Amino acid sequence: MHLRSTLLALVSLAVTLVAAEPKKVIVCTVTTGFRHSSIAEAEKTLQMLADTSKAFTVVEWVRQPAIEVPREPRKPKDLASGADAKAQERYAKEMEKFTAEKATWDSEIKPKAQAAQKEFDAAVRKELEKLSPARLAKVDGVIFANTTGDLPLPDNDGFVAWVKAGGAFIGMHSAGDTFHKFPGYLEMIQAEFKTHGPQVPADLVVADSAHPATAGLPNPWNLVQEEMYEFKDGSHSPSKVRSLLYLKHHPVLREQLGHFPVSWGRMHGKGRVFYTSLGHREDLWSTDPNLKDRKNPVETAQKYQQHILGGIKWALGLAEGSAEPQTALP
């Protein structure tokens, strides 16, 4: 009897340990378009949240290859009509500099740049093999942290099929500026970046105060400064998402009222998708009080970390929250 009780206790302990095992996540920060300087802070923050929350573990990092590709010199903007003598003189100097740099580019740098680009493209494809269907089958979730461009996934349709089958997808900021030529991804994330204006203060409305990604946030949640996205018409449907954060006015043209989405969650088949367009600035990701050019206070960064951790937990099925689209917003 004693042996049986001991065995039952061991089995119970094993079940508990398995249940408490952190979810396995792959984090991708590769960019083939614009590369945010905040990616380094994003990587540090996501690792810290994994270590401290014990909710998930980063089993793979999909990172940018350390291959520098020289960029062709950019021609200065055309001189405005009616420019004064000082502007004309400045433009003449800029054109002189550009002409010299372009000549050097054509004669010396361009062939090296083309070779470096081929090497970079091959390295990116190899790095993204970590997101093949076979590798995805071994993890619970994928995070796209400030990715951009059309990433050469091994299997685009296979990636979305993995989410539909129950995988978790989490995207931050320019994950909405990724895969412009991949309709399946755009439908999944319900966002396609259109443009942004200058960085501005943002008074964010909390649409669901019970959701793990927004629970405990002040309402409104005021940011001192952030780059706020606008999305292409037709790329985002409020009827297909659970709104979490939004603006009641255009991020720059404040007198233009409307619904401007910022963060949401949704079901894509059996998979949970969480997206927040916040995360451009380092001082949202990092709580370092001595961070250079800090505009948002440390408390705001703490709230941002709370926001994304709640979204990650929800997407991984570790925290409950509704995915039902709202019929009306506060």
Q: Comparing C-alpha atoms, which of 287, 233, 297 is closest to residue 260?
A: 233
**Sheet strands side by side (includes 141-145):** 56-62, 23-28, 141-145, 168-172, 271-276, 257-268, 242-249, 200-206, 221-226
pLDDT at 253: 87
Helix (H) or strand (E) holding 262: strand 257-268
326 pLDDT tier (thresholds 50, 70, 90): very high
Mean pLDDT on 214-226: 97
Question: How, if at all, do strands 229-231 and 56-62 pair?
Answer: unpaired
Is residue 144 a contact partner of residue 170, using CB atoms and an 8 Å limit? yes
Identify residue 100 by its one-letter amino acid code. Answer: A
Is residue 145 a contact partner of residue 27, using CB atoms and an 8 Å limit? yes
Mean pLDDT on 43-63: 98
Mean pLDDT on 53-70: 95
Does pLDDT of 8 surpass 60? no
Share of the chain above pLDDT 70, in %: 94
Is residue 277 a contact partner of residue 229, using CB atoms and an 8 Å limit? yes
- How far apart are the C-alpha atoms of 328 and 295, rounded to whole Å? 33
pLDDT at 18: 45
Mean pLDDT, rounded, of the chain: 93
Does pLDDT of 15 surpass 50? no
pLDDT digits (tens, 9 = 90+) for 156-213: 999 999 999 999 999 999 999 999 999 999 999 999 999 999 999 999 999 999 999 9
pLDDT at 276: 98
Mean pLDDT on 306-313: 98
pLDDT at 4: 55
Domains of the chain with bracketed CATH: 21-67+131-315 (3.40.50.880)
Cα dihedral sign, 253-259-261-263: positive
Give me the phi and psi of 201, to 5 degrees please.
Answer: -65, 150
Assign 33 to helix, strand or coil.
coil
- How far apart are the C-alpha atoms of 302 and 288, rounded to whole Å? 10
Among 16-30, 49-63, 91-105, 144-158, the least confident range:
16-30
pLDDT at 159: 98
Share of the chain above pLDDT 90, in %: 83
For residue 77, give Cα distances in angstroms to 33, 80, 81, 99, 108: 21, 9, 12, 14, 25
The residue with greater pLDDT, 167 or 257, is 167
Q: Can you list the alpha helix ranges (DSSP code H) found in 21-84?
A: 39-53
Does pLDDT of 11 surpass 90? no
294 pLDDT tier (thresholds 50, 70, 90): very high
Does pLDDT of 10 surpass 80? no
Assign 242 to helix, strand or coil.
strand
Question: How, if at all, do strands 242-249 and 200-206 pair?
Answer: antiparallel
The residue with greater pLDDT, 165 or 16, is 165
pLDDT at 81: 86
